[in-house]
Structure 1
């Protein structure tokens, strides 16, 4: 398609030079109907750089733009950018689309899991028990009031606005959003809206859209492989099966109760083969053996589904229904998946878990990305780009690695050897060394320091020594923090900017990515060790699978996911062109070629044993 980009929708006073390169790369991708995989560090202005050329092209060629992101903060940033673009040229509508359950105004929706909510929603609509849906449609047609609400929503429409207006007028927010989506040229949504097979098909049908006539922008695309694997993964447990047995008994499904009891007995019998292990591989036949072939299992799945739907009518949620979904997936393919039985520690006692886990994210992502008019994958940690091309099964891709736009003099990247979190060398002596290095850094930094550890367990063992020698106030991240708790800790940590405090967190925890502490709020990030996954059966299966498929199993299945986490941790430090700070990678393994080669080219870390003097010099120059 011949096309001259005008940049008439660019919402800021000037285009930065590095941003201009990204805009040009996006322009080429949408014009040539290809995919762009772009490593674009923080500060490049990637949201506007991706949206402006994509929206301009979509307006001229009658396409839809989907901006997909997994974080609410990015939803807000995208909508704010689109609102600024709309003020320049009010010729399009943009919609912020969040999950149906999140938008639901029914009180029961907050108590249900996603699969249960879908059944509950369908049932209350069928039985005319949802006043919000009833206020939106009458005899299959939109009410006058709903039409008026839809017509009033213009510009870049935030999800909060839709929920607010719908609650005020007694409408279903999700149905109102879908109607706005029919008119919208741009939709900001979650990954699941286009990559979850059943959600995608229903969603696109309701907004009269297609993948082929869409430009898809995938923000924070380093998260996409894991999210895609989760889409095609499911599990059940002895706890869930026990609840399913009680449900079947309560509602008089005696034959199904016996079937579920047989399933529970089967996994209990299989678990005895574990001996002293925590997990073991299963085959499809291990579960099929309790049924009279696949036809019998399909019949049972149908009966479970029907019974579960009836149970949802009575109590909104059903473990019987969840079992139906799990068994449906269990019959899926072997290639690209692994079946595992494991023992997990519950709050009171151990329980058995049986899982069907996807290994290959391309099974969920490949067709969507390859069939779209164009796809733009962007992230500040999308290196190496060829790994993401392979993992996501992308066929026609341009790969670009853009340099960090911030002045090199504003950052000091250090590799500090002399200690490690390597499993075979974990002992009190190592923890003392790690504590000493961390304390030396934190005590020298004129401000706040965040220290990230591979796990909470290692964090606590190092902290036992660290808190005795660190001169600053220390704060500990708590596992599985709620949104309010996280915000409270960030506010408290930020309040110490002038005198300095230390936050000790986990690489994969609440603060590892997705938070901004610009200016003087964070002066140093210290990354202790490598957040390598435990060598579980799933990890080993990933390594074997990617070895067979790409001959890069060790990299794709083990090393690079850990490096991506460390780079996300590192990205918390410098968030603007005026920020100054240090990033220290503390572990001798960062000197090993297989790990050092994973750093972005422009990172240029300095190996230092005299790191205290390096830090003093850096901050004395920065403040002079």
Structure 2
């Protein structure tokens, strides 16, 4: 839903899905609320449209503008979209039929009537066409096509213009109260934005950064910002984006994060602006597992009382919330969800439709399984701005989002669970299992596969049977395993549908020896770019985006997009960065003598001044080996465990107190939960030792990446190991200095840190740095800590 001056625009599909939704939440049929096959739908549309004759006009654009008078407001609602087809039948009555095409997985004989929202879409298009072209009667045809067999089933009806007009006016009347609220709110919001001032005194370089973000947005570009800690990158991106919203350039802001801590910072930034007079509705999407009223989410009317009739009540719940609250917190969503007996998670997704800003994980925009279909269902470009925090994390996350894996064991497990219930499904599962068994016999360790067409065909046939089975057996024993395989296959087929030259298919065995097949995304840029094109502008920012060309390339940057470096506001005198050049963490050098030398560095570094320190290791194995050497001799040692609950993580961080009486030394893993995102300000952390270059462990996937990029650009090692490793190093070192008043020392331990291959990836603020051995390090630390 978009607003322009006194006009509110909404698509036909969004209108009918919003106003006419009804019924239960029900996950027992594979998680679909309707029968539409999203990924394959466009292909089927094109195929059917091409078969039609000269009397068929495909993808016909239609729109209608309706004046609204409500609550002393006057404005217009424009309803627009593209009809799949307009069929002209000049010799018949009706002489025009609107065709609505839907691709489905289910057996068509089970479809007794068209899905109500699909029928409503066709009725909308029929009304708009009949009104514009002056037809007294008009027909609609629902064309359902089975994705596997390509069999087609039609449902046909005809309407008088009077009946359609009465129906359409009811729909618009119901939507009108929402549109009036939205129109009123946008006037109120924009007035407050115009009066909003930057809430702080600008730091050096910050005003330029704010201007750069604003210019990027109004020019429909993308910006990549390397912004060291302390620049104030959150407020420097949020403020100009909100300003652009007030000027009419932006309809919605998506603040995307990878971790809870950065989500909290974003929330606090919006709250700060609200306290300064801004009126803005911002909502954070909380993961379903965290906000669900059940111990484990099970979204159906049998397991959850709120699932029954959820869609009948949820619009009232959202309208109640919007009219009574501004700062939409998790607690408020839970409160109103309880009041109206609806699912808090699904309600929060509906609230996003009416929010000005949405704070959420990357996956709600980019992940093909989870993305917010309300906003990104079609290819249309909208005035959305994506603010992508800690953007360095998105490369690996995106590669995983756009990859898909299936395990042979899953097929056997489900086959055994359902064999007494469905011989047809058992047979389909067995066929796929035999395909995987054949691939397993050909795979000793890791095998790249050129063609899996037959396997995919068998999966498609399996899915048709699977759909039937789930509809007929919603409460079967072993439901979780059965549904999981269904969802995994669906994702696998969806990824196969977008498979291109930026992918590889391979088979191998996981750590437990289980055989699997994987569609591996080697380069996520094409997929990310498709998502970004649905918005107006994107701003990627992180303290660690080096080398910038790599991140621009991998994250969908274009030649015309901008990249800027925000200079660090810190005084270099407040930071000491040293490189221990006489130790190594290479696998060939990992022995007791080397570990002892590393420990001696750690001991001397942390003995120079009483305080809080963190030591980051490349693996738990090295961490534990050196922890054994430290036992009994290193004061205040606390150790990160491989699996920690939220309470254990909080307890670990609480060890790092202000004005400590004794030293506290945390042994942590690079790339782990304590190596980025945590904010230990002032003397809660005064030093960090980074042991090793952070390179990922050698494995099948890493080597596939290496070989792929060696072929593409000759930079296989850099793309698969070096850049990711050095990013972990920079993130770990970045824990030390968080505010302008902080003072701290950083020690990099590995001889490779003096090589140009590694120093070329140092951020600007890491210069100057000092090469040391243990004796010279002690001298440097003494001078640093005693300097006034």
Give the TM-score category using the shorter length.
0.7 to 0.9
Q: Is the Cα contact below 8 Å between 2:449 and 2:507 reproduced in 1?
A: no
* Higher strand proportion (structure 1 or 2): 2
Alignment of 1:507-526 (within 5 A): 507-526=670-689
Question: Which residue in 2 is equivalent to 1:490?
Answer: 653
Q: Are 1:149 and 2:312 counterparts? A: no
Q: Are 1:58 and 2:245 counterparts? A: yes
Which residue of 418, 422, 426 maps to 1:253? 422
Which residue of 500, 509, 516 maps to 1:343? 509
Equivalent-residue separation in structure 1 for 2:442 and 2:316 (angstroms) = 64
* Higher helix proportion (structure 1 or 2): 1
CA deviations 1:51-110 (Å, max 9, x no partner) are 11111111221521111112222222222221222333444322222334543334441x
Which residue of 372, 375, 378 maps to 2:541? 378
Q: Is the Cα contact below 8 Å between 1:194 and 1:368 reproduced in 2?
A: yes
Question: Which residue in 2 is equivalent to 1:132?
Answer: 306
Give the direction of change, closer, same or farther, for the CA distance of 1:228–1:308 in structure 2 (3 Å limit): farther
Q: Are 1:43 and 2:230 counterparts? A: yes
- The Cα shift of 1:428 comes to 2.0
Which residue of 622, 636, 641 maps to 1:473? 636
Q: CA RMSD in A?
A: 3.0
Equivalent-residue separation in structure 1 for 2:735 and 2:278 (angstroms) = 35
Q: Is the Cα contact below 8 Å between 1:573 and 1:583 reproduced in 2?
A: yes
Q: Are 1:190 and 2:361 counterparts? A: yes
Give the direction of change, closer, same or farther, for the CA distance of 1:502–1:146 in structure 2 (3 Å limit): closer
Give the direction of change, closer, same or farther, for the CA distance of 1:307–1:497 in structure 2 (3 Å limit): farther
Alignment of 1:74-89 (within 5 A): 74-89=262-277
Matched residues, number: 590
Equivalent-residue separation in structure 2 for 1:99 and 1:506 (angstroms) = 26
Give the direction of change, closer, same or farther, for the CA distance of 1:303–1:535 in structure 2 (3 Å limit): same
Equivalent-residue separation in structure 1 for 2:710 and 2:535 (angstroms) = 29
CA deviations 1:483-539 (Å, max 9, x no partner) are 111111111343893311211111022211111111111111101011212222211
Q: Is the Cα contact below 8 Å between 1:308 and 1:320 reproduced in 2?
A: no
Bigger-Rg structure (1/2): 2
Equivalent-residue separation in structure 1 for 2:282 and 2:491 (angstroms) = 36
Q: Are 1:613 and 2:779 counterparts? A: yes
Give the direction of change, closer, same or farther, for the CA distance of 1:241–1:135 in structure 2 (3 Å limit): closer
Q: Is the Cα contact below 8 Å between 1:475 and 1:503 reproduced in 2?
A: yes
- The Cα shift of 1:380 comes to 0.9
Give the direction of change, closer, same or farther, for the CA distance of 1:534–1:82 in structure 2 (3 Å limit): same
Equivalent-residue separation in structure 1 for 2:527 and 2:495 (angstroms) = 17
Question: Which residue in 2 is equivalent to 1:117?
Answer: none
Q: Are 1:281 and 2:425 counterparts? A: no
Question: Which residue in 2 is equivalent to 1:158?
Answer: 329
Give the direction of change, closer, same or farther, for the CA distance of 1:189–1:506 in structure 2 (3 Å limit): same
When structure 1 is superposed on structure 2, of 256-265 and 579-588 the one drifting more is 256-265
Alignment of 1:203-352 (within 5 A): 203-204=374-375, 211-249=381-419, 252-264=421-433, 267=436, 270-271=439-440, 275=444, 279-283=445-449, 285=451, 294-308=456-470, 313-314=475-476, 316-317=479-480, 318=482, 319-325=484-490, 327-328=492-493, 331-332=496-497, 333=499, 335-346=501-512, 350-352=513-515
- The Cα shift of 1:399 comes to 0.5
SS in 2 for 1:98: coil
Q: Is the Cα contact below 8 Å between 1:301 and 1:328 reproduced in 2?
A: no
Question: Which residue in 1 is equivalent to 2:203?
Answer: 16
Alignment of 1:445-484 (within 5 A): 445-467=609-631, 470-484=633-647
Question: Which residue in 2 is equivalent to 1:554?
Answer: 717
Q: Is the Cα contact below 8 Å between 1:95 and 1:187 reproduced in 2?
A: yes
- The Cα shift of 1:21 comes to 2.1
When structure 1 is superposed on structure 2, of 208-217 and 612-621 the one drifting more is 208-217
Q: Is the Cα contact below 8 Å between 2:575 and 2:743 reproduced in 1?
A: yes
When structure 1 is superposed on structure 2, of 352-361 and 381-390 the one drifting more is 352-361
CA deviations 1:133-183 (Å, max 9, x no partner) are 556543xx75645532342231x3223321233134422223432443232
Q: Are 1:355 and 2:355 counterparts? A: no
CA deviations 1:364-416 (Å, max 9, x no partner) are 31122345211111111112222111111211311111122122111101111
- The Cα shift of 1:132 comes to 2.5
Q: Is the Cα contact below 8 Å between 1:69 and 1:219 reproduced in 2?
A: yes
SS in 1 for 2:626: helix
Give the direction of change, closer, same or farther, for the CA distance of 1:552–1:311 in structure 2 (3 Å limit): farther
Q: Are 1:409 and 2:573 counterparts? A: yes
SS in 1 for 2:306: helix
SS in 2 for 1:221: coil
SS in 2 for 1:494: coil
Question: Which residue in 2 is equivalent to 1:565?
Answer: 728
Question: Which residue in 1 is equivalent to 2:352?
Answer: 181
- The Cα shift of 1:613 comes to 1.1
Equivalent-residue separation in structure 1 for 2:280 and 2:760 (angstroms) = 45
Question: Which residue in 2 is equivalent to 1:112?
Answer: none
- The Cα shift of 1:297 comes to 3.6
- The Cα shift of 1:235 comes to 2.0
Give the direction of change, closer, same or farther, for the CA distance of 1:481–1:238 in structure 2 (3 Å limit): farther
Q: Is the Cα contact below 8 Å between 2:261 and 2:678 reproduced in 1?
A: no
Give the direction of change, closer, same or farther, for the CA distance of 1:370–1:205 in structure 2 (3 Å limit): closer
Which consecutive residues of structure 2, in runs of 5 or more, have no partner in the other structure?
1-191
